[in-house]
């Protein structure tokens, strides 16, 4: 029975680990979604600025400011693209870690099930042996 108790504890730990891995994966996915929203906002800013430039003739100072702003937006877009790639890798790694934790929990659960079946089998055999001993004169 001690083995069953140990396996039950291992199963609880494995299930907690699985839950933590799932939370970490979700957090990484949320972070990736935030980066993608930021990148979309940068693209919208760039499009709005280009639309403003395409309109009327603007003064020299406005064109310089617009040029600086476009360069800043391009730089930010590159940063966000790199961050999204890194975060995407992190999401994949977290998903794999979650999958490993789930498989570990399944293996421990299967070991626990087998151990309980073994113990039940032994208890049934003991019960049969006791009945046979009691029926002997």
Domain ranges of the chain: 2-135
Long-range contacts, 12-19 (Cβ 8 Å, 24+):
14/101, 14/104, 14/105, 14/108, 14/109, 15/105, 17/101, 17/104, 17/105, 18/98, 18/101, 18/102, 18/104, 18/105
pLDDT, tens digit (0-9, with 9 covering 90-100), for 114-137: 999 999 999 888 888 777 766 655
113, 4 Cβ separation under 8 angstroms: no
* Range 2-135: architecture per CATH: Orthogonal Bundle (1.10)
Q: Which residue bears the tokens 């980066």?
A: 35
pLDDT of res. 17: 94
pLDDT at 97: 95
What the block records as the tokens of 46 is 């760039």
Task: Using the predicted structure, report yes or no on whether residue 57 has a pLDDT greater than 80.
Answer: no
């Amino acid at each position: 029975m001690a083995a069953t108790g140990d396996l039950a504890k291992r199963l609880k730990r494995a299930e907690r680990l699985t839950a933590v891995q799932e939370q970490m994966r979700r957090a990484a996915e949320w972070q990736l979604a935030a980066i993608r929203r930021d990148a979309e906002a940068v693209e919208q800013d760039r499009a709005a600025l280009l639309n403003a430039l395409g309109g009327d003739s603007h003064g020299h100072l406005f064109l310089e400011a617009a040029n600086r702003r476009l360069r800043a937006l391009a730089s930010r877009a590159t940063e966000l693209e790199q961050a999204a790639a890194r975060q995407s890798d992190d999401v994949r790694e977290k998903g794999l870690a979650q999958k490993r934790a789930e498989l570990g929990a399944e293996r421990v659960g299967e070991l626990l099930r087998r151990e309980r079946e073994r113990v039940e089998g032994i208890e049934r055999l003991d019960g049969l042996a006791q009945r046979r001993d009691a029926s002997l004169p």
